[in-house]
Structures are given as structure tokens and as C-alpha cells.
Structure 1
């Protein structure tokens, strides 16, 4: 999903609470349904936000891992991203 305000990208934490809370409920329910239907070995959150939501939804029932989100806003995050992703995902492959 993409959220824009004044032509600028907003991360979910930047949404007003009145916008954010209903959205979290809908998205959390959808992710929970996908996790239960697919029964993955692990859920990998790409970025801190996604990882945090995955941890809340899985409630320890499915292992979660964090993978740094590649971002144009943080060029450092893009350096060596493929290698970092390979290392993060290796235990689950």
C-alpha cells in the first residue's frame, strides 16, 4: 500500500490515529488469514513495522524474523541488501 499526504510518502506510523487504527485491524486480519491458510515455517517482516505487526499477529505461534527494508530514503540500507536477505532467509530455506 502507498499512503500519500501533500505528495509525500507516509509510513503507517505517520498516519493519524483515526486513519491508522481501523486500517491495522483490517490488515492484521488479512495477514492472520493468510498465515493460517498457508501455515508458513516463518514470517519474515521486511522492515521494523512489518516485523512488529507479524510478531503481534503470530503471537509466538509462528517464528518471525526481521529483514532490513531497502529504502530510497536510506541508501545505506540498500548496500549489500541481497547478501543480508540471503543470510536472514537461510535458516528458513
Structure 2
């Protein structure tokens, strides 16, 4: 969704949802516009968000576009997520199978 990386002075990753409101609003508007263009151009049957944030961005874009794409979510592979630290590949495969993508 957002091809940029934001780093704290400590080298810690700062996710877009943690940016100050004004910066986040500007970034989201640009990323949403691009995502809507991609959805309109490709007209996909299915979209998969990697994590809750990406899923919510996809749902918002699909709704705005009035697209027919089904939106699903898979587990984000973040080291901060205890669920993702064990059998991430197996869990994601099962999520994709449940969504009838795999």
C-alpha cells in the first residue's frame, strides 16, 4: 500500500498509522489515489491485504471505486506478532485456502 519506509532516530520502523495526523492524511490521500487507479485499471477479482492496516486500505479503495473485488487478509509477518513467529507460511496458506485463492 505504501512503498515508503519511515525510520525513527533509533532505526525503529514507524508505520504510516503512527505518523502525525497531518502527515498521515497527506500520505493516505496519495496512496489511496494510486491504489484506486490500480484497482480500476486491473479490475482484480480478489485483493489480499497483508495485515489489518493493508486490508482496511483495500476495503476503503474498493468501496470508493465501487469495484467488485473481494478483499481478504493474511497474517502480517512482523517479528512483533507472536502469531507470525511460528509457522507463518502454514498459517497464511490456510488463510488463502479459506478465502478460496489457493
- TM-score in same-fold range (> 0.5): yes
Q: Deviating runs (4+, > 4 A) in structure 1?
A: none
Gap regions ≥5 residues in structure 2: none
Gap regions ≥5 residues in structure 1: none
Measure, in 1, the Cα distance between the counterparts of 2:60 and 2:85. Answer: 27
Partner of 1:57: 61
Write the mapping of 1:36-75 to structure 2, written as runs, cut at 5 A. 36-59=40-63, 61-75=68-82
Partner of 2:94: 87
CA RMSD of aligned residues (A): 1.5
Q: Give TM-score scaled by structure 2 length.
A: 0.81
Q: Give TM-score scaled by structure 1 length.
A: 0.88
Count of paired positions: 93
Task: Specify the SS of the correspondent of 2:79.
Answer: coil
1:41–1:92 Cα contact (<8 Å) kept? no
